[in-house]
Structure 1
């Protein structure tokens, strides 16, 4: 990346990280705080935790469309303002319904699509994957940091103070947007794709992508359901004061990163992605059974939570990679949109479902239900095909019309090592997925000529 791109990517990742930090900080403490709210029930606690996922899923596509019409920065600003307003409403509410409304408004500022679009406007095509990876790392760091500092902040300023702090983080995000994020040097808009319904149909009916979309829904559902119950286990079953929960999470999260690293390396370097993926789902299922079975031992709960976070971190890193590898080259953006929507819906279903289960059947039922959900995911994933280990490749081409573009794409597909090829007439670019071990760039040059990336 050049300096312009680095500045763009890291400032945008910072904005998104601040926003997700604000959403996640209440996870380890909210269930206990909510006991003192007017009209509270276990199900409403879960709904308050997860409702942001519902509104985020609903408004993600409209916000992306608005950013195409009115510009990226104004729509991102609107989203951050809604996030701040929702935070203030939640901070000032004495009733659970007030917090639910505040959380719903937080989620309605669904800026993910507009942020990704601005990232695309500010980076070259060949740097796009790296840029998205940096964005993903910022989200993961926000989640880990939130679980550690949430209980500490709760001890100092309370959950209502955390909501106020979240509003301040949203304001900081707006400041970064205008002070640090550059304006695009040119508008990087592509044609309006006329076949969006066809692309959606293709993505929805792709069995491999369907498995991954259901998987991210289940994974985030399990996480939200678990955090509707886990704080009560730590406080009521283990006698751990709320302000000491951070010191319980800290070593667990640090060890989970150490446990995750070799598994990710095995998956990528040894090309054992499916084995590691299936094993991680199994590990998550085992962790939920442990958390549901023994809630009187600090060590047992710690081990169960450690296994969960090792599995969660591996799967969180693997799923986007698998989506990008399995999605058709011309529909990768659509596939990622469906994937993100599934993730947000999972947070909603998990939060509301976990709260309902806790109220109707007790805390143990939440963990056992999570284990059953993981088992269903495991069975669904057994039929997953091992994705080819391919690399993205882009080349400038000269074509006169759509017919010539389609003919060139078909010729490129016949070359050794080329698995997919799509020629975009308006961009004058051929996008390929290739096996580097078999792909001969000279053959492609001989066929079309021009420059490549």
Structure 2
């Protein structure tokens, strides 16, 4: 098999783990577009508690994401994923059979306790070679996007048929299906990727949190998911007030999502080819702020609201696709696992805070007030992001090398640093690993391979 292609084991690993990720995210997202309406029969219902219930999974995800990743380094990826899926199934059952919003909130929090994202990504890295790892990670990213789109369409269609209880039961079935996929389809790990690529290393965390470039991106994913969660506290009710019944909401979400992908793809392609990543990134934040202001001004017009949702999802999809890539580019060599762990924590913490912000601001300011409040947060994000570096084609390569001792490591590092395009070299004797951070536009990969092979 060519090094440019995935092996059969790599394909099976990437596809099966993408399916596990997608099943879980589908269950989480499916509740978003309908809960504010179908939860009105629950004891204790209020806009504030709707926000808590929708965002509760984010808090437990944020608290447990890094610990679960570290635990997977110690006891293995598969046991952590198995336990996480069991917790997700249990939370779904608790939420399904609760007659109060407090019980549903507890169930959602337990679902979030199944924080398997870091373990799934680490296992994906373990099952793939360095040169194919980006493809496998991209497959998982695509599966999350597809799950999100399907969930926004499926929720409004399935809720009238099965009710809120039925949706939570479906999330449990999805988690149990994920366990079956883990057992029967995911290959058994043979080679483990270097820890710096997959897991959070505690001693690196504080240093990475202080990194101003990474901090801008962490704040970005926090703001992005805060806005997403907050919007779905109020948007379903806003659409219903326009005479658009909940079972028809998919008719707005589906074309808006398809249209947003069509509009977003040229931004990604041109940004990469023309080295305009930063320009489009800032444009997308401004577009999101504009769409939120327009939502407040278009609250009485369904066609205008559709255009606003289309623009919002165009910006959201671009930013959601760009942020992980930027984290990977800007992470110091050998720290990607730790950087992604911090990033994921901010992401889920944003989802939790979005529920609180959405519910509280709706109670105090109404739906238009929510949209304007979120637009102000987007402008704050725009200001914070203004000093971000304009990313070139930076990439990190990871290689196994026979590093004999500290002197040999120093000699190897010196040789590699002489190569054109090398930005940083990190050698770790204990892991027999070399991390290369390079400008991929001018870096000669084969020269580095020859040095490592002949060392």
TM-score strictly above 0.5:
yes
**Contact 1:397 1:450 survives alignment (8 Å):** no
Residue 415 of structure 1 deviates from its aligned partner by: 2.4
Task: Choose the corresponding residue for 2:212, options 207, 210, 217.
Answer: 207
Residue 187 of structure 1 deviates from its aligned partner by: 4.9
Is 1:315 matched with 2:292? no
Matched with 2:187 is 182
The structure-2 alpha-carbon separation of the partners of 1:76 and 1:444, relative to structure 1 and needing over 3 Å to count, comes to: closer
Matched with 1:227 is 232
> Normalising to structure 2: TM-score of the pair?
0.94
Residue 385 of structure 1 deviates from its aligned partner by: 1.0
Q: What are the equivalent positions in structure 2 for 1:382-397 lying under 5 Å apart? A: 382-397=386-401
Superposed CA offset, 1:349-405 (max 9, x none): 001111011112211111011100000000111111112212344455433213431
Is 1:114 matched with 2:110? no
Q: For 2:334, what is the secondary structure of its paired residue? A: helix
Matched with 1:79 is 84
Is 1:380 matched with 2:384? yes
Residue 446 of structure 1 deviates from its aligned partner by: 6.8
Residue 100 of structure 1 deviates from its aligned partner by: 0.3
Counterparts of 1:445 and 1:119 in 2: how far apart (Å)?
23
The structure-2 alpha-carbon separation of the partners of 1:93 and 1:195, relative to structure 1 and needing over 3 Å to count, comes to: closer
**Contact 2:26 2:148 survives alignment (8 Å):** yes
**Contact 2:66 2:345 survives alignment (8 Å):** no
Matched with 1:154 is 159
Counterparts of 1:6 and 1:173 in 2: how far apart (Å)?
17
Matched with 2:363 is 359
Identify which range, 357-366 or 3-12, moves more after superposition: 357-366
Counterparts of 1:197 and 1:75 in 2: how far apart (Å)?
19
| Runs (5+) with no aligned partner, structure 2 | 1-5
Counterparts of 2:54 and 2:337 in 1: how far apart (Å)?
28
Superposed CA offset, 1:178-213 (max 9, x none): 111111124556599999454212211111110000
Counterparts of 2:252 and 2:341 in 1: how far apart (Å)?
35
Residue 300 of structure 1 deviates from its aligned partner by: 1.0
Superposed CA offset, 1:67-113 (max 9, x none): 23332222211111110111011111111101000000000011112
Counterparts of 2:452 and 2:257 in 1: how far apart (Å)?
51
| Runs (5+) with no aligned partner, structure 1 | none
Counterparts of 2:449 and 2:20 in 1: how far apart (Å)?
41
Matched with 1:276 is 280
Matched with 1:246 is 250
Superposed CA offset, 1:405-448 (max 9, x none): 14432442232211121223244342212234433456546755
The structure-2 alpha-carbon separation of the partners of 1:192 and 1:286, relative to structure 1 and needing over 3 Å to count, comes to: closer
Is 1:296 matched with 2:300? yes
Superposed CA offset, 1:28-52 (max 9, x none): 1000112211111111000100010
Counterparts of 2:133 and 2:235 in 1: how far apart (Å)?
38
